[in-house]
């Protein structure tokens, strides 16, 4: 589901709730497994040469010691928006099956104690600190006006650049905006939009095979929930066995 490289190591994640740290280029040499997520893992990022952070379908950010796979800290982003039940309820109605899915995260390259992350279906950008001290804290969150005022606009990506600008993509136009931190002090830190980019409007394009309009949705997340797929498979198998039993019973009656 994601990969991240750092000086001879490559971290990879999967829908089996695991993060695997392997040596590179000899990737068959596994350094460690980072186990703790209770749902598929969606995003990975290195903090430094020894630690990495992951986000997943359980709504958690988890900080790992790469060499041993030991979990150093965890933070549930869904708990940071407990006072916004309306937004939470809206997200629950999506096809994802849960609002607490981390779909993007990015570590500040100039300040590796800080990262930003977003949850699917929510308009908030979460600013998380405490990576250096292994004491993860949701310092604050800010709202992208585009997503707040529109039912169709959703946050789809977030990333820091070397100027410490936070770039945010949304599913509506203008689709990419840059936010600047006005202060590095946590108590007075604010975020102001300083730049926007409006690339080709995706809503005017169609899929080359289906001819359906292109759109950004959370449908791609559904297939990652392995438990639901397994349960669906078991249900199909059970129904098939029942049909076969009925056919067999009917054949015996006829004989």
Task: Note the pLDDT tens digit of each residue in 144-161.
Answer: 754 344 444 678 899 999
CB atoms closer than 10 angstroms to residue 92: 14
Name the more confident of 42 and 85. 42
Q: In sequence order, what are the residues at sequence separation of 6 or more whose Cβ sits closer than 8 angstroms to the Cβ of residue 222? A: 95, 96, 97, 228
In whole angstroms, give the CA distance from residue 217 to residue 91: 12
Q: Is the dihedral of CA 216, 5, 176, 87 positive or negative?
A: positive
Runs of H (alpha helix) within 38-191: 85-92, 145-149
Sort strands 9-13 and 114-119 into parallel, antiparallel or unpaired: unpaired
Per-residue pLDDT reduced to its tens digit, 196-212? 876 655 555 566 666 66
Which of 60-74, 102-116, 153-167, 172-186 has the least mean pLDDT? 172-186
Mean pLDDT of all residues in the chain?
78
Q: Say if residues 74 and 62 touch (Cβ distance below 8 Å).
A: yes
Give 213-226 as a 3 state SS string.
ECCCCCHHHHCCCH
pLDDT of residue 131: 93
Q: Tell me the percentage of the chain whose pLDDT exceeds 90.
A: 41
Give the whole-number percent of the chain exceeding pLDDT 70: 68
């Amino acid at each position: 589901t994601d990969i991240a490289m750092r000086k001879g190591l490559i971290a990879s994640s999967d829908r089996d709730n695991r993060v695997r740290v392997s040596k590179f280029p000899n990737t068959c040499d596994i350094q460690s497994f980072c186990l703790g997520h209770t749902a598929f893992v969606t995003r990975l990022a290195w903090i430094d040469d020894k630690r990495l952070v992951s986000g997943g379908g359980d709504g958690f950010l988890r900080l790992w010691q790469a060499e041993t796979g030991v979990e150093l800290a965890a933070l549930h982003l869904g708990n940071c928006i407990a006072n916004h039940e309306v937004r939470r309820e809206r997200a629950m109605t999506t096809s994802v099956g849960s609002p607490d899915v981390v779909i993007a995260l990015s570590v500040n390259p100039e300040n590796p104690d800080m990262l930003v992350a977003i949850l699917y279906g929510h308009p908030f950008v979460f600013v998380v600190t405490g990576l250096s001290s292994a004491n993860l804290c949701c310092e604050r969150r800010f709202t992208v006006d585009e997503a707040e005022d529109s039912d169709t606009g959703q946050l789809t990506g977030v990333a820091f650049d070397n100027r410490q600008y936070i770039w945010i993509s949304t599913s509506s136009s203008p689709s990419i905006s840059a936010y600047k931190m006005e202060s590095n002090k946590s108590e007075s830190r604010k975020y102001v939009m300083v730049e926007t980019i409006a690339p080709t409007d995706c809503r005017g394009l169609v899929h080359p095979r289906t001819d359906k309009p292109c759109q950004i949705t959370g449908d791609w997340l559904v297939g990652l929930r392995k438990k639901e797929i397994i349960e669906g498979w078991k249900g199909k198998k059970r129904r098939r066995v029942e049909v076969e039993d009925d056919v067999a019973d009917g054949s015996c009656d006829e004989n």
